[in-house]
Structures are given as C-alpha cells and as structure tokens.
Amino acid sequence: MPIYRAPVDDTLFLLNDVFHMERYSNLPGFADASPDVVEAVLGEAAKFCEEVLAPLNRVGDREGCERHDDGRVTTPAGFKEAFGQLRDGGWVGISIPDEFGGQGLPSVLTQIVNEYMCSANMAFAMYPGLTQGAIAALLVHAAPELKTKYLPKMVAGEWTGTMNLTEPHCGTDLGLLRTKAVKQADGSYRITGTKIFISAGEHDMAGNIIHLVLARIEGAPAGTKGISLFVVPKMLVKDDGSLGAHNGVSCGSIEEKMGIHGNATCVMNYDGAQGWLIGEENRGLNAMFVMMNEARLGVGVQGLAQSEVAYQNAALYAKERLQGRSLTGVKAPDKPADPIIVHPDVRRTLMTIRAFNEAARALVLWTALRGDVAHRSEDEKERQSADDHMGLLTPVIKGVLTDTGFANTVMAQQLYGGHGYIAEHGVEQFVRDARIAQIYEGANGIQALDLVGRKLGRDGGRAVMTFFNEVGAYLKDKSGDDKMKPYVGPMNAALGHLQQGTMWFMQNAMAKPDNAGAGATDYMHLFGLVALGFMWCKIAEAALDKLPSANGSAPRYNAKLVTARFFMERMLPETATRLARIQVGADSTMELPADAF
Amino acid sequence: MPIYRAPVDDTLFLLNDVFHMERYSNLPGFADASPDVVEAVLGEAAKFCEEVLAPLNRVGDREGCERHDDGRVTTPAGFKEAFGQLRDGGWVGISIPDEFGGQGLPSVLTQIVNEYMCSANMAFAMYPGLTQGAIAALLVHAAPELKTKYLPKMVAGEWTGTMNLTEPHCGTDLGLLRTKAVKQADGSYRITGTKIFISAGEHDMAGNIIHLVLARIEGAPAGTKGISLFVVPKMLVKDDGSLGAHNGVSCGSIEEKMGIHGNATCVMNYDGAQGWLIGEENRGLNAMFVMMNEARLGVGVQGLAQSEVAYQNAALYAKERLQGRSLTGVKAPDKPADPIIVHPDVRRTLMTIRAFNEAARALVLWTALRGDVAHRSEDEKERQSADDHMGLLTPVIKGVLTDTGFANTVMAQQLYGGHGYIAEHGVEQFVRDARIAQIYEGANGIQALDLVGRKLGRDGGRAVMTFFNEVGAYLKDKSGDDKMKPYVGPMNAALGHLQQGTMWFMQNAMAKPDNAGAGATDYMHLFGLVALGFMWCKIAEAALDKLPSANGSAPRYNAKLVTARFFMERMLPETATRLARIQVGADSTMELPADAF
C-alpha cells in the first residue's frame, strides 16, 4: 500500500523564505493569508489528502467507474463520501471571491492544495480541478445572471463542472468542430453533437454537473472563428435555484483507458440540450482559453504531484529493501544485506527525481504568485508583467513538468525491480496515471509550439526578454558570492544556451517555419532546465541565508545545497544537447516523403 | 486494432548487404542458410506473426491468464491453438542441433524470428523464449541422460521451460536464496521453497513444463557459492519418455501486473518436488548464467520489437489523422485538414524512433552473428574474440534497447493524443508490455553495473579495447570518403567521448568504486549511442554501395542515408551530456545521509 506525506514544510519554506510571500500583502486576499493561516490551511489539506484521499487511490484504480444501462455513472467505493468531505471543507472555493461564496485566499494556495490532492489521488482530484476551471471561465466571461445561477453551488462544491471540446475527428484542431447550436426564441440555444474524452462528464458525487461546451451556432463562419461557448447544465436550474428537468445531455459510454480509472472519462451525447451563451457569439475559444490556461498550470502540477508521491514511496522502499552490499564496505552488518539505498545507481535515481520535484514546486509557486499579481494587482504595469510571465511559463510548466514527472514515475518504479511491475505496491499506477498529463489540455508537442510559435514572438519578445533579464541580472548580482558559485557558474552556461537557441529561431525560423517546429520540443525542455536551475539558485540562496541560525534544521538546508549541486552537475548539462538539436534545423527531419514512413 | 508487418526486407538488407552473411559459410549450419533459404524462413515467420500472433495480442491483454481453484492455469482464447501452430512449424528449435531434433540453422535466425514474434505478441513470445533459454542451459551443462530425457520434447515445442530464480526477499542478490534441496538415495533431490515472478510457470498449452530451479543443497555454503541448479519437471518423466505422476510443484497464484497479461506470471510452490542436478553442486549460478545471457539478449530484442510495432502503428496513424495545416502551406487541399505527418514535431518523433529501430536491429544481428561464431567456430581465437564481443555488448543491448525501446513506445503513444490513452487503438498496451523488459533478467541498473564493474576490466580490458580499435579503425578507413563524412565526423567525436568516459573510470573508480556506480547508467547509454552510431555508419556504407544500381529501390537506400544523418545530428549529441555526468563523479550523488530521503 503506497504512502503519501504532503510536503508542507517544503511548501512553507518556498512561500516564506524563497518567495517572501509577505511582500505581496498589498494584494487583495493576501492580508488574510498570514504565515500562520497558511500553515493551518496546508496542515488541514495535508490531513485530508493523507488520510482520506490517498487510501482511496488504489480502490479507484481497481474499481473504476461504471456506467449503468440507464446512463447513470457510479464512482468507486468511498469517492462519494470523500467528495462530501471536500465540499464540507470548502476546498473548491478557497481562492474564489467572497461574493460567490469562496474564501478569497491567494490562488497560490489552490495550486498547493491541488498538488497534494493530485499526489494522493489524481483521478479524484480531477473532479474539483475541472470544476475550478469551469468556475474561472464563468467568472471572467459569463453574464451576471449566469454567474448568480451557477457559481455559488459550484464554488461550494455542491455541483461540479466539465469542459467539452474534443470530438471524434477534432482534438487539437478545434476549427473542425461540428457540434451545433440553434438559437431559441427565449435567447437560449439547443445544442446537438457528440463530445469525447470528457473527464468527470457523469458521476454520482454531486447534485448537478455544469458542462461548458464548445459549439457552432447555425450559420456561423467555418473554422475557429465560428465557435461559441455555452453553459449546459445536466439538470436544468429554475430561477429560484431549484433543480428542474433532466437536460438533453447524457453519457453514452465510459472509455476503457490506461489509468485514472477513478475518473469517469465519458462520451457525452448532446441531443437538443438547452444551453446558454457564455461571452460573445463566435468568441468561444477566447472564453475557453481562460479555462485552458488555468487547467494547463494545473496539469503541470499533476506531473509534479505524481513524481512526488512516486519519489516518496521509492525512497521508503530503497531504505527497507535489503539486497547486495555497498561497494564501499558493509553498511548493515546486522542484516543479511544492505538496504539498496547504499548503491550509487539507486541514489542517482532518487536524487534525480528529488532535484526535479523541489525545483518544480518552486517554479509552480513562483508562477502562481505571479498569477495572483496578474489577477489582483491594481498596478497595470505589474499586471502586464505578471501576465507576460504566466503566458510564457504556462506551456513550459505544462510540458516539462508532465514529461519529466512521468519519466520520474518510471524511474521510481524501476527501483522496485519486479515488485514495481505488479499492482501490489501501487507504483505502476503512478506511471499509468501520470501518463495522461502529457496528453490532455493540449498534448506536449502543442505546448512546445505554443511556446515557440506564439509566446516567444508576442509583443516583440517582451516576455522572454524580461525573463532573460531577470535571470541574467540575478546571476550577475550573485557572481561575486563564493558560496553561490557552484550554482551560478553552470547557470550562466545554461542561460547562454537558451539565449542561443532563441536567437537561432529568430534568425532561421522566420523564413523557414519548419525550423521552429522541429526544434520546439527541445527548446521547451531547454527552457524548463533553465527555469528549474534558476529556482535552484533561489533555493540555495535562501538555504545559505537560513543556515547560520538553523541549529536543528541545518541538515534540511544542507540537503537543499547538495541537491542544488546535483542538479547543476548532473541535470543541467543536458542544455548543450538540447541546443545542438535545435541548431541542426529541420532538414533531416523533414526530408523523407510521407510514404517512406 | 493495431497492425504489424514484419520488417523482412530490412532484415535481409542487414544480413546480406551490411553484414555479408555469406562470409560465415564456413560455420556449421550456415551452409544450409543460403540467402533464399533465409528469405523463405523469414517469410514464413512473418506470415505466422502477422496473421496468427498479432491478432491475439489485444485478446491476451484483455483476457489475461486465469488460475483455477485446482491450480490449473488457462491462457487467453486462441493462445493454445497458436502454440500448436508454433510447434507444428518447428519454430522453437530452428537453431538447435539436429541431434536433439532442431534444424541447426544459425542462431541469428532465432533472434530475428523472436523480434517478429515479440512485435506481434510479446506475452505469447515469452513461452517459446523461456523454453529456448532453458534448452540452452541444459545443452551446455546437463548430463547426457537429462538431455536425452528433456531436450527433444522441448526442442519440438511439446514441452515448455521456465527459469526459477527470484524469491520474495531475493531478486538481484541471489546469495540470499533459501529454497532447499535435499539429496535422496537415488541421486535425485527433493526441492522445497517458494519462487515468485515465474513467467510461464503454469499454463495449458503444452504437455509438460520443465522448470530450471536454483536451490541450496542442505549443508551448502552460504551466499552465492552454495547455489545449485536443478531440473524439476511439472509431470515426472518415466524412463520410456511417457509422463508419470504430478511432481510436488504447483502454481500458488498469478500476479496482477501492469502488462504482458497474456503471460502467466506465477508464484510457484515447491513442496518436496523431485529434481535432478544440472552441472556441479554449488555451481548453479554458473549454469544459470548461460540461460541468463541468452535471455538478456532476447530481452533487448523485446525492447526493439515493441518500439518497432509502436512505430508502425504511429506512422500509419500520422498519415491518416487529419488535424491542422502544415506550417509551409496546405498539403491536402481536398481534405478538411492535413495529415499530422506534415507537422515537424510529429516527424521528429517518427524519425527518432525509426533511427533507433533500424540501428538497434543491426546491433542485434551483428551481435547474434558473433554469437554464432562464439559457439560454432573451430578457431579458438575467433571464438574468444566473438565471446568477448558478446560479453561486452549483451548488457548494452539489454539495457539500452529496453530503455530506449520503452521510451519510444511512449513517444509513439503521444502521437495519438487522447486516442493513445484509451485501450481501443492498442498503443497503450505496447507501453505497458514494453515496460517489463527494463526490469526482468536483471534490472537495467544491474546491466550498467555488469558493463562497468565486470565487463570493462575483464582480461585487462581486452574486449573494450578490441571494440574501440574496431570502431576507430573503421572511422579512420572512411575518413577520406566524402560521402561518409556526415557520419564519420560526428562518430569520431562520440567515440572520443566514450573513450574519455572509460579512461575516467580507470583513473577514478579504482580508489573510489562509487564513482563507477554513479556513472554506470550514463556510461551504458553512452556506449549504446556509439554502438548504434557505428551501425548507422555500416548501414550508410552499404546503402551508398547499393545506390548506383538501385533503380526502383533507390528511395529505400536514400531513406537510410537521411535517417543516418538524423541520428548523427539529433541523437548522437547526447554523448556529451552522458560524459559530463560521468565525469562529475559520485560526490553530490552520495553525500546525503540515508535518512535525508
């Protein structure tokens, strides 16, 4: 049975000592989030995740969801009760404005709680996660009467939400979308079509399900410019807020899939279902992208979360499993063999995962804090700069944290030998669950294209230049600090590689866009390495600050310094290979005719 | 439904044009393997794999094996009939000497057929695969009367074989083994103990199952020097060859596991089962290693095989799935979108997998041919040199082909987007099945240690120096050839990296063995890249030779040259990162105390 302990101490270290959350106290909601309040909130979240959600993770995997002949879907044993506790704890709405029943706390706290929930039980965490995404889209784009009708119940966790984009023939390329919307005399629409891969599309845990659905209004232009967004409740909601008739939407089937069995992935049939327009006609993608961006950050967090829980279990196993003797002499003479953590290749594995996890968590918190600035600051320039950061880092976080997070679950599984391949230890489930995060909310190849094709050049490269300046200025500032040398030196080289890669695109991809496409994935990972390395610099700096007065906590800060060095020595050198691949361009990639494949 | 087409043409090109199989005609069995015979054999194998085994792959995954209350195990629908066809085709024994009923053909053909079978249906292919391993151990170490009793039926495919090493507390560290053997008055032994993870341990496809079992004879020394190997048939075999009573061995349960559901992974209970010693007392590991080495090469082939079938399906999907438009202008104006193969990131994925597959197949055939020399040559020096090659390359092939093979199935799955995560397309099964190959027959970390800790230094480094000399002399020989420049240049750098890594171990790992352990996995992959790069040089050379008179086949040879260039430009540069990791040594890897994890 796998274990999970929420990394509350590490989170608090990042919030308080690395990112100095107190400096944000001028933003709405932050004054209420004093260090002791944050600690209490995270402590409660940890307890819920460790004691309620984690024990249901394997149950969810084994039982899965079941669709009954009447179209009802039941979730695995215990999920409904756990969702009740989630609702009663008010966890869905902790960062939603008070006026809709939320607690108005900083959004960074939502990302943290989501990390813990996704480590404990990713399939479960998707239900509230999608609800939060739907809330975000409604908050920004819906008319006041729609907000009043739907938001309070969703924020309270009484109703859940979904997003309906994909159709059988249409995933990434939403311009091909066929679902139809026909305007009615009362201003509502009748929606007809089939959507696939709808997570949490139907289940038994909430009184209503609020579907956000992309569809094409009769007579709208072809392509992406004729798509509108609708809210389509499963149960129609009367003006007094009570539930009316069942709407014309139903779950046609549940997909049989590789993992996240506890989440119902549904084919949804819309058969003249009544829906209401969100935002303007034909501007649906615009409205949906609010939800997508929120969701993409959240999916990046899923990659980190699975990597974290896989690490925790692998570390425990490595300290308990006795096999072989240390190369440097017997370490456990009273036992028939040494614990496998004495072996360098096992250490290498654990250090690699950990050096990623701790920096990835920092990257998420840093970006989530910028998100709070982007949404809450009264200073327009601050908002713009924070928004630039979010736009630039969101595809990096989504792509890199899920690619590396998945690879880490595989590495953790490897430590178990044959025991990792059987279901008993639960680690193979982490691999199967983590895999989806590389795919949904825009497959990672799409994230790379978003980064290279859209984000780099936007506003004359303003966001990326700001990022380079910030990292560069930091490295320059620390260049005279001997204790920071082991981190600053390698990072200077890595930043140089990233800048060369960026420059190469500028010089070679305008005339020949395939050069950008062929290098995009490598560029995204190069960017991720630099961003994670920057986080390690910040973490090392904070650890060095704390060490002189750390006393009993000194081992913790020393561990940060050793792990930072490991990252610089072992992981950052990959930037050279990534750059080399970018700089060869697209020729050998694109030369063969399609029929040669 | 996934497809599979055995790559017969590519195999024949490698055998005839790259490795000039006719030059081996002085070895026993090769005279019978003329090009037309080989082509006929591979054609038949392809037919069987494509038409019989491949359609059963998903069936095997969905149904799995079932253990009944009486201990019987039934295999998925169709497996038994397919095994009957395998037996009737004589496929198990194609490379086994005539005297035991085999066809005596070169072993390289067995590896090729195994690749095809593992692509079509890996869970099925394990049944004959393990039988071949057991045959190999019996051939080398068993007394003549045991050979006579067991080999003909096993070679004929009437009985299957297993290997029993692992116990619950003992995997890699066989010194901890507890299964007991007690000598009887008649010279046989009574075996008692529990073995786990026994592939094909019990099933319904053959009349008898011949278990090879490691156990400790009463009074034997502790550790690995007190382990003996026994043959323990499921059904006792009378002197006239007919079956007697059921032996004291039974399947206690079947493991629930991530993949290869069509293969029964059994807990085997030995309860005073009658067994006979193979080879000498307390020299069981020695005898078992014959089987292990055979098996390790075979497992490397599984990695290639899964990568190949995943590639074939992903390539087909990429040519059919319409989504988005090419960055360089519409390619399929008559369709609502272009096939996704027009997108550079999709091409990059396909080229990466293919550039691995084609070189990995070459590496397997090159090594398998050396294996034939090692086992069949009359020249002792030739045998020794071939044996050196096998010893050096076996851990590289096992570790690199399964690590990269798995990664490739994941990349192939990624091309499908959400459709790759659901069971319907079959590609997620390739991922789950391929995963085991990194783990069994010695987890890949163990392969890396075998390479660095044992194979490099053996006989004063004779094997590795010979390898360096062979590759170095080849590159030097081609250095004046302009057409070979795109391959020889990058390979010179990569070989230099490998030599520097080797030198670094010589200078830094003697005094501090952790330096070898911490760099072993990176070294194994560095070695693999150089070996694969060398294969691409040989392939390119052969393609350049063929091109002037190729006519209609020219596109095929051109594709080889483009793919070779892709490998050199995009994949080989990783050697620099691998070397950098090796050269930082073990310090940051080993510094933290175990309780910091």
Q: How would you write B220-283 as a 3-class SS string? A: CCCHHHHCEEEEEECEEECCCCCEEEECCEEEEEECCECCCCCCCEEEEEEEEEEEEEECCCCC
Determine whether the interchain pair B566/A588 forms a contact, defined as Cβ–Cβ distance below 8 Å: yes
Cβ-proximal residues to A99 (8 Å cutoff; 6+ apart), any chain? none
Residue of A nearest to B572 (CA): A577
The helix (run of H) or strand (run of E) holding residue A373 is helix A344-376
Chain B interface mutation, best of A167, A345, A450, highest count of B Cβ atoms under 10 Å = A345
CA distance B155 to A61: 42
Would you list the DSSP string of A391-459?
Answer: HHHHHHHHHHHHHHHHHHHHHHHHHTGGGGTBGGGSHHHHHHHHHGGGTSSS-HHHHHHIIIIIITTHH
**Are the C-beta atoms of A122 and A306 separated by less than 8 Å?**
yes
> Which of A347, A435, A555 is nearest residue B590 as measured by Cβ atoms?
A347
Task: Chain A: give the shortest CA distance to residue B91, in Å.
Answer: 29
CA distance A428 to A61: 11
Which of helix, strand or coil describes residue A199?
Answer: strand
What does the block give as tokens for B202? 């019990």
3-state percent helix, strand, coil for chain B, nearest multiple of 5 = 60, 10, 25
Q: Which residues of B54-64 are buried (b: 16+ CB within 10 A; e: fewer)?
A: bbbbbbbbebb
**Are the C-beta atoms of A53 and A5 separated by less than 8 Å?**
no
Q: Can you list the pairs that B538-541 forms with residues at least 24 positions away whose Cβ atoms lie under 8 Å?
A: B538/B18, B538/B19, B538/B362, B539/B14, B539/B18, B539/B358, B539/B359, B539/B362, B539/B564, B540/B484, B540/B487, B540/B564, B541/B18, B541/B478, B541/B484
pLDDT at B290: 74
pLDDT at B293: 80
Q: Which residues of A368-393 are buried (b: 16+ CB within 10 A; e: fewer)?
A: bbbbbbbbbbeeeeeeebbbbbbbbb
Which of helix, strand or coil describes residue B209?
Answer: strand
Report residue B557 CA to chain centroid gap.
27
Strand pairing class (B66-67; A265-278): unpaired
CA distance B170 to B215: 12
Task: Chain B: give the shortest CA distance to residue A328, in Å.
Answer: 7
Q: Which residues of A touch B517 (CB under 8 A)?
A: 327, 343-345
pLDDT at B47: 98
Among candidate residues A548, A406, A561, A423, the one with its CA nearest the CA of residue A483: A561
Band of pLDDT at residue B24, cut at 50, 70 and 90: very high
Crossing angle (nearest 10°) for helices A380-415 and A284-320: 40
The helix (run of H) or strand (run of E) holding residue A66 is strand A66-67
What does the block give as tokens for A142? 């819906």
pLDDT at A503: 97
Band of pLDDT at residue B370, cut at 50, 70 and 90: very high
Which of helix, strand or coil describes residue B85?
Answer: helix
Q: Which residues of B touch A324 (CB under 8 A)?
A: 172-173
Q: Which residues of A touch B444 (CB under 8 A)?
A: 414
CA distance A296 to A444: 10
The helix (run of H) or strand (run of E) holding residue A504 is helix A485-508
**Are the C-beta atoms of A588 and A514 separated by less than 8 Å?**
no
Determine whether the interchain pair A521/B348 forms a contact, defined as Cβ–Cβ distance below 8 Å: yes
pLDDT at B182: 98
pLDDT at A291: 77
Is the pLDDT at B245 greater than 80, yes or no?
Answer: yes
- The CA-atom distances, in angstroms, between B445 and each of A398, B265, B441 are 29, 22, 11
**Are the C-beta atoms of A368 and A108 separated by less than 8 Å?**
yes
Q: In this structure, what DSSP letter does residue B50 have?
A: I
CA distance A180 to B205: 54
For chain A, state the CA radius of gyration.
Answer: 24
Determine whether the interchain pair B574/A570 forms a contact, defined as Cβ–Cβ distance below 8 Å: no
Angle at the Cα of B13 (from B8 to B14), degrees rounded to 5? 100
**Are the C-beta atoms of A136 and A290 separated by less than 8 Å?**
yes
> Which of B171, B339, B419 is nearest residue A417 as measured by Cβ atoms?
B171
CA distance B163 to A560: 45
Helices and strands, counts by H and E, chain B: 17, 11
Across B466-481, average pLDDT: 98
CA distance A581 to A566: 24
Helices and strands, counts by H and E, chain A: 17, 11
**Residues facing residue B211 across a β-bridge:** B162, B232
Is the pLDDT at B291 greater than 90, yes or no?
Answer: no
Cβ-proximal residues to B349 (8 Å cutoff; 6+ apart), any chain? A445, B314, B411, B412, B414, B415
Among candidate residues B437, B425, B438, the one with its CA nearest the CA of residue B58: B425
Residue of A nearest to B351 (CA): A589
- The CA-atom distances, in angstroms, between B24 and each of A242, B27, B383, B384, B387 are 84, 6, 13, 16, 16
> Which of A346, A576, A589 is nearest residue B347 as measured by Cβ atoms?
A589
Residue of B nearest to A172 (CA): B323
Residue of A nearest to B556 (CA): A596
**Residues facing residue B265 across a β-bridge:** B199
Would you call A441 a catalytic residue per the annotation? yes
Which of helix, strand or coil describes residue A275?
Answer: strand
Q: Which residues of A touch B428 (CB under 8 A)?
A: 257-258, 435
Is the pLDDT at B287 greater than 90, yes or no?
Answer: no
CA distance A227 to A351: 47
**Which one of A158, A441, A470, A591 is the catalytic residue?**
A441
Q: Which residues of B touch A521 (CB under 8 A)?
A: 345, 348
Task: Chain B: give the shortest CA distance to residue A113, in Å.
Answer: 23
Determine whether the interchain pair B414/A439 forms a contact, defined as Cβ–Cβ distance below 8 Å: yes
Residue of A nearest to B574 (CA): A577
Determine whether the interchain pair B574/A573 forms a contact, defined as Cβ–Cβ distance below 8 Å: no
Determine whether the interchain pair B323/A173 forms a contact, defined as Cβ–Cβ distance below 8 Å: yes
Determine whether the interchain pair B589/A417 forms a contact, defined as Cβ–Cβ distance below 8 Å: no
Q: Which residues of A touch B589 (CB under 8 A)?
A: 344, 347-348, 351, 566, 570
Among candidate residues B45, B35, B64, the one with its CA nearest the CA of residue B4: B45
Q: In this structure, which amino acid lies at residue A185?
A: A
pLDDT at A4: 98
Q: pLDDT 10s per residue in chain A (597 long)?
A: 899 999 999 999 999 999 999 999 999 999 999 999 999 999 999 999 999 999 999 999 999 999 999 999 999 999 999 999 999 999 999 999 999 999 999 999 999 999 999 999 999 999 999 999 999 999 999 999 999 999 999 999 999 999 999 999 999 999 999 999 999 999 999 999 999 999 999 999 999 999 999 999 999 999 999 999 999 999 999 999 999 999 999 999 999 999 999 999 999 999 999 999 999 999 999 888 877 887 899 999 999 999 999 999 999 999 999 999 999 999 999 999 999 999 999 999 999 999 999 999 999 999 999 999 999 999 999 999 999 999 999 999 999 999 999 999 999 999 999 999 999 999 999 999 999 999 999 999 999 999 999 999 999 999 999 999 999 999 999 999 999 999 999 999 999 999 999 999 999 998 999 999 999 999 999 999 999 999 999 999 999 999 999 999 999 999 999 999 999 999 999 999 999 999 999 999 999 999 999
CA distance A128 to A92: 6
CA distance A42 to A44: 5
Q: In this structure, which amino acid lies at residue A423?
A: A
Q: Which residues of A touch B431 (CB under 8 A)?
A: 258, 435
- The CA-atom distances, in angstroms, between B492 and each of A171, B392, B488, B497, B529 are 44, 20, 6, 9, 12
Task: Chain B: give the shortest CA distance to residue A501, in Å.
Answer: 15
pTM: 0.98
pLDDT at B81: 98
For B391-406, how does the pLDDT look when each residue is reduced to its tens digit (9 = 90+)? 999 999 999 999 999 9
Crossing angle (nearest 10°) for helices B485-508 and B574-583: 10
CA dihedral B40, B46, B48, B50 (to 10 degrees): -150
**Are the C-beta atoms of A119 and A4 separated by less than 8 Å?**
yes
CA distance B359 to B281: 42
Band of pLDDT at residue B563, cut at 50, 70 and 90: very high
Would you list the DSSP string of A117-165?
Answer: HHHHHHHHHHHHHHHHHHHHHHHHHS-HHHHHHHHHHHHTTSEEEEEE-
Query: Number of C-alpha atoms within 13 angstroms, CB side, residue B167?
Result: 21
Query: Number of C-alpha atoms within 13 angstroms, CB side, residue A302?
Result: 31
**Are the C-beta atoms of B182 and B221 separated by less than 8 Å?**
no
Q: In this structure, what DSSP letter does residue B75 have?
A: P
The pair phi, psi for residue A200, each rounded to 5°, is 60, 25
**Are the C-beta atoms of B347 and B339 separated by less than 8 Å?**
no
